[in-house]
Amino acid sequence: MPKEQFRASALNKKISHVQFGISGADEIQQEALVRIISKNLYQAQRQPVPYGVLDRRMGISTKDAMCDTCGQGLNECIGHFGYLDLALPVFHIGHFRSTINILQMICKVCAHVMLKPEDRQLYEKKLHNPNFSYLGKKALHVQMLAKAKKVTKCPHCGSPNGGVKKGPGLLKILHDPYKGRKMDLLFTSNMNEMLHSTQANRDLNSTLGNYSTAEELTPLMVLDLFEQIPQRDVALLGMCSHDAHPKHLIVTRVFVPPACIRPSVLSEVKAGTTEDDLTMKQSEITPHQ
C-alpha cells in the first residue's frame, strides 16, 4: 500500500500588528489545561502524580513516555501549560513601580482617579483622539500623575489621601493619608494619649517603636482597590487596551510551564531523578494553599 502523501494547506497570514498585554487570572485559566493542586511529584513506579507539577497532561521530558494531552512523543509534543492558584495575592516585581503610580493617582477609599471634573474631561478628550500618538499619551500620563499626586482630598468622595511610596523591606507600599495635612482634633487627642502611654510603659514603647501615621497597603488591599476602579478611569491610568485593567498587575494565579522546558534528569549517583529548580519551587508553593 503506497504511503499517503501529505499536502499542507496554505497557512500564510499577514500580521497587521502586535499588541503586548498582561495576562489576567481568567486568561491564564483559559490558556492552561490543568490546575495544579498536589505538592507530590511521583507516585508508585515513578509515575508523575496527577494534578502535580509533573502531570503528563503538560507534556513530557523523557523519550519513553507519551503526552496525555496530544498523545505525541518528546520530539513532537511542544508541551502544554498548567496553572497554579496562590493562597494570597502578591505584587508583581516587574510591575511594582506601575502599581505605586496607580495608587498615587486613585483614591484609597473609592478607587476613583483623583482629578477634578474639568481636568478629567480635558484628558479624556485627548486620550479618545484616534490620532493621538503613543509618545503623546505617555507624556500626558506623566502630567496626570503629577497633578493627581498633589490632591489631598478626593473630588469624588471627599476622603483624605496622602503620599504613596515604597516602604522598607521587599515589595512594601506605604500610604500616609495625613502627610502634609492638618490632623483633626480626635486624631491628635488619640495620638497624644498613645504617646503618653508609651512614655510610662517601656515594654509598650519598645513594641510600638517609632509610631507613624502611614499604613501599609498589602497586596490583598491593593487588589480590592484595583477591582473597584471604574472602567472609565482605566484609560486615565495609562492602559489603552480594551481588556486591560489594573487588577491584572496583582498576581493571584501563575502559569506552570510545560515539562519539556524543565526536564527531569535521571541521577547516576543515587536512585531517582534530579528535578529542575522551577519544578521544585512550584511544588513548594502548592502546599501553602
Q: Give the pLDDT confidence score for residue 225 in this predicted structure.
A: 96
pLDDT score, position 182: 60
Give 135-160 pLDDT, tens digit per residue. Answer: 999 999 999 999 999 998 999 998 88
Q: Could you tell me if 115 and 235 are in contact, meaning their C-beta atoms sit under 8 angstroms apart?
A: no
Counting residues of the chain whose pLDDT is more than 70, the rounded percentage is: 81
pLDDT attached to residue 214: 78
pLDDT interval class at 178 (50, 70, 90): confident
Q: Please give the pLDDT value at position 22.
A: 86
Is the pLDDT at 235 greater than 70? The verdict is yes
Report the candidate in 14, 37, 41 with the shortest Cα–Cα distance to residue 85: 37
Cβ pair 173, 103 in contact under 8 A: yes
Q: What is the mean pLDDT of residues 93-121?
A: 94
Residues 6+ apart with CB under 8 A from 87: 288, 289
**Predicted confidence (pLDDT) per residue in 24-52, tens digit:** 899 999 999 999 998 888 887 788 899 99
- Residue 217 reports pLDDT greater than 80: yes
Q: Strand pairing of 265-266 and 273-274?
A: antiparallel
Q: Give the pLDDT mean for 11-16.
A: 84
Confidence category of residue 128, pLDDT binned at 50, 70, 90? confident
pLDDT over 90 for what percent of the chain? 42
Amino acid making up residue 61:
S
3-state secondary structure of 69: coil
CB burial readout 195-232, b (16+ within 10 A) else e: eeebeeeeeeeeeeeeeeebeebebebbbebbeebeee
* 283, 114 Cβ separation under 8 angstroms: no
